[in-house]
Amino acid sequence: MSTIGWVGLGNMGRPMTANLVRAGHTVNGFDLVPEAVDAAAKSGVNPVSSIAEAVAGADIVFTMLPKGEHARTAYLEPDGVLANADQRTLLIDSSTIDFDSARLLHAEAKKAGFRLIDGPVSGGVTGAEAGTLTFMLGGADADIEEARPFIEAMAGNIFHAGGDAAGQAAKIVNNMMLSISLQGVVEGAVLADRFGLDPKVFHDIAKVSSGDSWPLRTWYPVPGVTTTAAANNEFQPGFATALMHKDVGLALAGAETQGVELPAASLVHAQLQKLIDEDLGGLDTSALIKNIDPDAEGLPK
């Protein structure tokens, strides 16, 4: 088994490292939040107090951080990964960050003599806990194959999306599409209700018809229709509104640099912002139904 350096032990990093420990690896974990390190230690992670300690002697290093600015700091600052890791160590950034930051990390890693993979994930906290995340990887073929045995302990699906930053591109576009599909589901759920349709009957019709989608089958925003929906639990987050807002913002920022107009994504981004402005950013993204029906069943009172 191998030694893994891990930076970022939040809601995703903590269960992901637990799966690596269960697979027999030694994981040296660091986070700026001491409580996060302590929680990870309960799952067998070896707690360390700096990035330098996390990467020392590591065969592979993972980072799982909230935003591009955090990833740039973790890799590029004097106390960061590139300044302290051995050049033989394979680096994987599993944060979901903007496309330009991902390309910058690849460029700076190469300049410093390192190999880096961008490897964002999809599946949320439940997927991280179950070890069924989807990894979208950007990087060289040989590096992907070297990383695969480590990733398999955390993944249900592994895709090599292409070269530098291709993993981030795939993740950003996928989540943008998810948000747009979900907006259609919440609008449809409210309109079906106003027409007097039974929500379970309508859901059964739509899921085998042209209105079908992943959020319809998984996140239908009416309690008692789908077992996996946050609506059954007062919209406690499986995928928080604030996180989806961030991801759709990454798509819009990337589209601007590429000269692409995204009217539907812009609309959903504004709808997510409306929830955040009402201090509801911590609710599940399917709470978008509140913008259509403020008294929707299942919402916290």
**Per-domain residue ranges of the chain:** 3-162, 169-291
Closest CA to 178 of 214, 209, 203: 214
The pair of three-digit structure tokens given for residue 8, joined into one six-digit string: 């970022």
The CATH architecture annotation of domain 3-162 reads 3-Layer(aba) Sandwich (3.40)
- Distance CA(284)–CA(299), nearest Å, equals 10
The pair of three-digit structure tokens given for residue 83, joined into one six-digit string: 């300044």
Mean pLDDT split into 10-residue runs, the chain, 301 residues = 95 96 98 96 97 97 96 97 97 96 97 98 89 97 97 98 97 96 98 98 98 96 96 93 95 95 98 98 97 96 81
- Distance CA(269)–CA(277), nearest Å, equals 12
In the annotation, is 171 catalytic?
yes
Run of H or E including 62: strand 60-63
Residue 126: what pLDDT? 83
Closest CA to 28 of 242, 11, 8, 12: 8
Report the amino acid identity of residue 49: S
- Distance CA(274)–CA(53), nearest Å, equals 42
- Distance CA(244)–CA(265), nearest Å, equals 11
CATH topology of domain 169-291: N-(1-d-carboxylethyl)-l-norvaline Dehydrogenase; domain 2 (1.10.1040)
Closest CA to 75 of 47, 96, 45, 55: 55
- The residues with which 133 forms a beta bridge, in sequence order, are 155
Task: Identify whether the C-beta of residue 119 lies closer than 8 Å to the C-beta of residue 94.
Answer: yes
Closest CA to 204 of 214, 193, 191, 216: 216
- What's the distance, Cα to Cα, between the start and end of the chain in Å? 50
- The residues with which 158 forms a beta bridge, in sequence order, are 135
Report the amino acid identity of residue 142: A
DSSP three-state, residue 1: coil
- Distance CA(288)–CA(219), nearest Å, equals 11
Report the amino acid identity of residue 209: S
Residue 125: what pLDDT? 83
- Distance CA(274)–CA(247), nearest Å, equals 16
Residue 123: what pLDDT? 86
Matching residue, tokens 């996928």: 174
Residue 238: what pLDDT? 84
Matching residue, tokens 């085998």: 208
Catalytic residue selected from 42, 110, 111, 171: 171
The pair of three-digit structure tokens given for residue 223, joined into one six-digit string: 């309690």
The pair of three-digit structure tokens given for residue 173, joined into one six-digit string: 């576009």
**Cα-based distances in Å from 260 to 19, 162, 180, 257, 273:** 39, 21, 16, 8, 21
Provide the residue count of the chain: 301
Are domains 3-162 and 169-291 of this chain identical in fold? no
Residue 290: what pLDDT? 98
Residue 124: what pLDDT? 82
Residue 283: what pLDDT? 97
